[in-house]
Structure 1
Amino acid sequence: MMPALAVSRRTRSTPFTSRVEAMGVQAYTVYNHMLLPTAFQGIEEDYWHLCEHVQVWDVSCERQVEITGPDAQKLIQLMTPRDLSNARAGQCFYLPLCDEKGMLINDPIAIKHSDDHWWLSIADSDVKLWAKGIATGMQLDVKVCEPDVWPLAVQGPKAEELMARVFGEEVKDIRFFQYRHLNYRDTDMVVARSGWSKQGGFEIYVNDAELGCMLWDDLFSAGEDLQVAPGCPNLIERIESGLLSFGNDMDYSDTPLECGLDKYVSLSADINSLSIEALRNSTPRHQLVGLVCQGKHSFTATGVYMEELCVGEITSWAWSPKYGVTLAFARCNPAGMDEGVSLTVNSDSGAQPVVLSGLPFNFNDLGLTAHEAGQSESVTGKPV
């Protein structure tokens, strides 16, 4: 039996908590000091529904670190090794944030309102404190704060239709990783085509707590025939899609070059970044890779072995009901990544061979065929 989560003011609720609980949330985790739902009907049931219909997610835990002032873009650029010199208002950017040694601090989505106004929609770490420290130490002319903004995600293949019913046809013109200001009940809200799934969808940056339950109810009323349901970031879907979780698959001990985030590091750009020199001179010590294990297994330890030698560590795993295999992410050192090497992991049914894969998984190259819902049994691993 899993222990209960004690909820207090330190684990802050959200404008949508009453609706989330009324709809039968089964479990929470704590993310940025807030409650994040992790299951409703069950991880596999939620997974199939997400892949086939549309869900509304309370992701208020994706806190916004707001940076405003004449030096706002300078501070953002200092925090990331990605070149933002051509960034335009209306765009969203996936950013590795790195310290002076090139180590990851967070991997938010940055939202540019203007050169003097940015949001960082952060993963689970205290970016605001780090940003304040840099700004103070370098005497930058900025204000760093956490505004009252609570993201609500609408995800799944029917998300665009549902959003158009509530926000209008203009939603359909929003391109991936871009946003528009749309009106809801006489309130201007940022709506971006983004979200922590590969099923397609949007994130609504709700900026009025009193409208939270109204928006939730309107989405469910408008989407009844679309089989709209409550949901949350789904372990199975994120692993199948190759979506990384800061704190699970990468942390303060990793550089972005060790996590497959090379394309977000502008090594040759002339930028003023705290981490760029360290990353230019770094040699990756390990690499984040995918593992594929035939059949349904529950991994009982994190080690990845080449004969008796431990060459890696599993960071997240899940049974994939769509492909009938157990998938994992793992940190492996160079000895475990040689072509043709034989690797094993420990499971509830003993040592199991695994196939090394790049990320995201290419299921066609792996020779895996998708199954329909209900064709395979379920077991899942490390939580979101």
Structure 2
Amino acid sequence: MSPEPPTVPVLRSLRTGTTISFPASSRYRPRADTVFHRKVLPALYSDPLDEYRASTEGVVLWDIGTEIPIEVSGPAALEFLDQAVTRDLPRCPVGECRYVFVTDQHGGIVNDPVVVRLQAQRFWLMPSESDLLLWLRALAAATEAEVVIQPVDTAPLQVRGPRAREVVRALAGDEVADLPDYRFARTRIDRFEVVTRTGFSGELGYELMPLDGSRTGPAFWETVRAAGRPFGIRVAAPSQIRRIEAGIFSSGVDMTLETDPFELTGYGWMVNLRKLPFVGRSTLVRIAREGPRFEVVGITIEGDPPPEFWGGLLVEPLPVFRPGDTEPTGRVTSACLSPALGWIIGFARLPATAAAPDTELVVQTSTGLRRARVVPTLFVDTEKRRVKS
């Protein structure tokens, strides 16, 4: 039986607003909220294992309204963004999307958004947790770029799970339901105009973004909920357990400003050092030549899960030791009991000298020291793929 979640009330103020869909999503009585992009977001409705099973066996509806897209447009939008990200954006056609890193001058990861190219000089960036809007505006001011950078008036939500395609087909028809990965379409669902895209996740899924979201968001939520009812759709929160199983690193958790892209196992290919200068390029050239000092790797941990692994998110990193050492050499950033595998999995940031596969480690948990081992990060891949774009 899973332990009860800690009761930590969220003190709301003008600095902690709510998502546009919050009046609708909160009616399903979340047991816990969190703050993401300075907005209150439902973080748990039932139980992490119950919501995991709903997302891996059926279909779920997530309020992700804190992930407000950032629009970059104007005569220099492509040139400006190409200097802000580590990938070659001119190679991204209109109608497609790219998962990218935004790095600072030291090569640290500011954000890892998905860039959606709506028009030749109009882009949306789907941000993870950090002040990407402020970073881009500061960069535009410093370079005097001819761009307009603003948040989009929308209320993003996600439909996830093996039956997600059936729900989206009922909502929007075959063209949207059959979208390949990293593509988007602009369509009409009922009376709502919607931009939709599929993105990288451990399960089949879609993001639906109603335009004029501040006016239509709650009503659109109910439209999607009603369309999903014949398919057993459940209101849930994003599953941290499934994220970890799929080898998905979380910004602000597994990667921070002190993490460069070459530290993330399997993601070095996302840095194109051959393209024209971009922020952080000179530092990343040096790191590529010398090799990263640290690596974020997968680990397995022996024994039953201690209380802090409940739900997949840690309150604080756990120290990692080499066998026999008294001083920690690294830290565990995410961990959970994988229902698909039956053992504890997670991610750890370690010195490169201790990050080779099969390296044995020791993790300090609330219930004592546990033996651990470095393993590949992709634990369970139901889609049989990594990031493709």
Q: TM-score, normalised by structure 1?
A: 0.89
Does the 8 A contact of 2:246 with 2:381 survive in 1?
Answer: no
Counterparts in 2 of 1:363 and 1:206: CA distance versus 1, 3 Å: closer
Q: Distance in 1 between matches of 2:236 and 2:270?
A: 29
Q: Which segments of 5 or more consecutive residues in structure 2 lack a partner in the other structure?
A: 1-5, 309-316, 383-389
Does the 8 A contact of 1:38 with 1:234 survive in 2?
Answer: no
Alignment correspondent of 1:262: 268
Q: Distance in 1 between matches of 2:89 and 2:116?
A: 12
Alignment correspondent of 1:368: none
Moved more, 219-228 or 331-340: 331-340
Q: Distance in 2 between matches of 1:12 and 1:339?
A: 44
Q: CA deviation at 1:30?
A: 0.9
Moved more, 100-109 or 6-15: 6-15
Whether 2:95 is the aligned partner of 1:79: answer: no
Does the 8 A contact of 1:71 with 1:140 survive in 2?
Answer: yes
Match of 2:299 among 266, 287, 291: 291
Q: CA deviation at 1:187?
A: 3.8
Q: CA RMSD in A?
A: 1.9
User: What SS class does the counterpart of residue 223 from structure 1 fall into?
Assistant: helix
Q: Distance in 2 between matches of 1:77 and 1:284?
A: 24
Q: Distance in 1 between matches of 2:208 and 2:97?
A: 13
Which amino acid counterpart does residue 294 of structure 2 have in structure 1?
H
Q: CA deviation at 1:218?
A: 2.1
Alignment correspondent of 1:140: 145
Does the 8 A contact of 2:59 with 2:234 survive in 1?
Answer: yes
Once the two structures are superposed, what CA deviation does each residue of 1:80-111 show, in whole Å capped at 9, x if it has no partner? 11111211111111110001221111001111
Equivalent residue runs for 1:83-122 within 5 Å: 83-122=88-127
Q: CA deviation at 1:264?
A: 0.9
Does the 8 A contact of 1:315 with 1:328 survive in 2?
Answer: yes
Alignment correspondent of 1:249: 254
Does the 8 A contact of 2:357 with 2:375 survive in 1?
Answer: no
User: What SS class does the counterpart of residue 296 from structure 1 fall into?
Assistant: coil
Whether 2:199 is the aligned partner of 1:191: answer: no
Alignment correspondent of 1:180: 185
Which amino acid counterpart does residue 255 of structure 2 have in structure 1?
M
Moved more, 355-364 or 82-91: 355-364
Report the identity percentage. Answer: 26
User: What SS class does the counterpart of residue 288 from structure 1 fall into?
Assistant: strand
Q: Distance in 1 between matches of 2:126 and 2:381?
A: 30
Q: CA deviation at 1:170?
A: 1.8
Q: Distance in 1 between matches of 2:26 and 2:143?
A: 44
Alignment correspondent of 1:359: 377
Match of 1:126 among 114, 123, 131: 131
User: What SS class does the counterpart of residue 328 from structure 2 fall into?
Assistant: strand
User: What SS class does the counterpart of residue 330 from structure 2 fall into?
Assistant: strand
Structure 1 runs of 4+ off > 6 angstroms?
none
Match of 2:368 among 350, 364, 368: 350
Q: Distance in 1 between matches of 2:381 and 2:18?
A: 39
Counterparts in 2 of 1:342 and 1:148: CA distance versus 1, 3 Å: same
Once the two structures are superposed, what CA deviation does each residue of 1:45-85 show, in whole Å capped at 9, x if it has no partner? 10011101111111111121111101101111111111112
Which amino acid counterpart does residue 321 of structure 2 have in structure 1?
Y
Alignment correspondent of 2:57: 52
Q: Distance in 1 between matches of 2:49 and 2:237?
A: 12
Q: TM-score, normalised by structure 2?
A: 0.88
Alignment correspondent of 1:369: none
Which amino acid counterpart does residue 353 of structure 1 have in structure 2?
R
Alignment correspondent of 1:374: none
Alignment correspondent of 2:285: 280
Counterparts in 2 of 1:88 and 1:23: CA distance versus 1, 3 Å: same
User: What SS class does the counterpart of residue 378 from structure 2 fall into?
Assistant: coil
Does the 8 A contact of 2:246 with 2:380 survive in 1?
Answer: no
Q: CA deviation at 1:231?
A: 1.5
Q: CA deviation at 1:215?
A: 2.1
User: What SS class does the counterpart of residue 222 from structure 2 fall into?
Assistant: helix
User: What SS class does the counterpart of residue 35 from structure 1 fall into?
Assistant: strand
Q: CA deviation at 1:349?
A: 3.6
Q: Distance in 1 between matches of 2:89 and 2:225?
A: 38
Alignment correspondent of 2:3: none
Alignment correspondent of 1:207: 211
Q: CA deviation at 1:339?
A: 5.3
Counterparts in 2 of 1:134 and 1:363: CA distance versus 1, 3 Å: closer
Counterparts in 2 of 1:338 and 1:165: CA distance versus 1, 3 Å: closer
Q: CA deviation at 1:143?
A: 0.9
Does the 8 A contact of 2:72 with 2:124 survive in 1?
Answer: yes
Q: Distance in 2 between matches of 1:363 and 1:164?
A: 24
Q: CA deviation at 1:362?
A: 6.2
Q: CA deviation at 1:326?
A: 1.1
Counterparts in 2 of 1:340 and 1:42: CA distance versus 1, 3 Å: closer
Q: Distance in 1 between matches of 2:257 and 2:191?
A: 42
Alignment correspondent of 2:320: 304
Q: Which segments of 5 or more consecutive residues in structure 1 lack a partner in the other structure?
A: 365-384
Counterparts in 2 of 1:340 and 1:216: CA distance versus 1, 3 Å: closer
Q: Distance in 2 between matches of 1:346 and 1:155?
A: 34
User: What SS class does the counterpart of residue 18 from structure 2 fall into?
Assistant: coil
